[in-house]
Amino acid sequence: MELPADVARLLGLLRAELTTRGGLAGIYLYGSLTTGDFSPARSDIDVVVMVKRDLDQASIAELRQLHTSLASSDDPAGRLHCLYVAAATAADPDRLCPYWYGDRMTRWQLKVITRAELAWAGVALYGPWPPPALPPVSAAEVRAAVRAEIGGYWRRMAGRRRYWLHDSWVDLGLTALPRSAAVLTSGELITKTEAINRLAGFGVPVDLAAEIRRRRAGQVVPLTARQRIRRARLVRRIMTGGVRRLSG
pLDDT tens digits, residue range 135-192?
Answer: 889 999 999 999 999 999 999 999 999 999 999 999 999 999 999 999 999 999 999 9
CA distances from 94 to 47, 168, 231 (A): 18, 26, 35
133 domain-assigned: no
What is the arithmetic mean of pLDDT over 109-120? 96
Claim to verify: residue 157 and residue 116 sit in the same structural domain:
no
C-beta of residue 243 within 8 angstroms of C-beta of residue 150? yes
Claim to verify: residue 114 and residue 150 sit in the same structural domain:
no
Claim to verify: residue 121 and residue 16 sit in the same structural domain:
yes
Predicted model pTM: 0.94
Residue 111 has a pLDDT of 96
Claim to verify: residue 16 and residue 94 sit in the same structural domain:
yes
pLDDT value at 72 more than 80: no
Q: What is the mean pLDDT of the chain?
A: 95
Residue at which a domain ends, from 58, 92, 126: 126
Residue 78 has a pLDDT of 87
Residue 132 has a pLDDT of 85
Claim to verify: residue 215 and residue 240 sit in the same structural domain:
yes
Residue 247 has a pLDDT of 95
Domain count, the chain: 2
Claim to verify: residue 20 and residue 114 sit in the same structural domain:
yes
Residue at which a domain ends, from 100, 126, 152: 126
What 8-state DSSP symbol labels residue 102? S
DSSP states of 127-144: S-SSPTT-----HHHHHH
131 domain-assigned: no
Residue at which a domain ends, from 126, 155, 175: 126
pLDDT value at 74 more than 70: no
60 lies in which domain range? Answer: 5-126
